[in-house]
Amino acid sequence: MRCLIFLAPVLAACAASHAPEAPTATSVKQRLTRRTPVKLLVSLPDSSGSLTASHYTHDGWIDGSLMVPLANGELDAKAVADGNLDVTGFSINVNPIDVPPEVFGKPATLKDLRLVLNGTPAVTTTWTDDDNATATAMISLDLSWTIVVDGNASPLGAQHLAPLPIDISLTGDGEEIDASVGVHATGELWNWADLVKLKALDLELAATTAY
């Protein structure tokens, strides 16, 4: 009995050491075809964004260009049977933005700004090989934010933006997947009582599984 008690942990350790390891994907496509979507986080040093805000005055519309100070973001995706991407999640969080004084005629800031995917887009995907692909889609995003004008904060809640084009390029291997994501939209994206407009959104994002 004492021998069996002594040998038990030894036998357990041997069994654990010979337990089969989870199979490693050999390509980007193989990793994406697993049941769980792959999460890619936005790499901030390699990502940028801008938009245009307009404010109506007695002299007409006045535009101001704003850089979008990205805080973080992510892209969640997997590949379905026909090879097309299934984008299950996409979100961008933005640090506070100072609005040029000419837009409102007084100090203003956008804060708590967040873009989140609404719905499941139909994505067209082209694979040049198992490690490289490009994908395009029209996506719907919800914008939530707070505007602070002259020290007065007004949470605006979720705003449904018009569908936007998105381009995704994938590369890498079974261990690491890298993506470049472009969202470029012209024209009016959001209108507040014909006094304030957001338009011309441009996002150039780098995302990776290596985080």
DSSP line for 31-93: HHTSSSPEEEEE-GGG-EEEEEEEEEETTEEEEEEEE--EEEEEEEEEE-TTS-EEEEEEEEE
Rounded distance between C-alpha atoms, residue 96 and residue 34, angstroms: 37
Domain boundaries, the chain: 26-208
Question: Can you give the pTM of this predicted structure?
Answer: 0.81
Q: Where do we find the tokens 């792959």?
A: 38
Instruction: Give the pLDDT means over successive 10-residue stretches in the chain (211 positions).
Output: 44 47 81 95 94 84 86 97 96 89 77 93 97 97 89 84 92 97 86 80 96 88
pLDDT score of 138: 96
- Topology adopted by domain 26-208: Porin (2.40.160)
For 26, phi then psi, to 5°, come to -100, -5
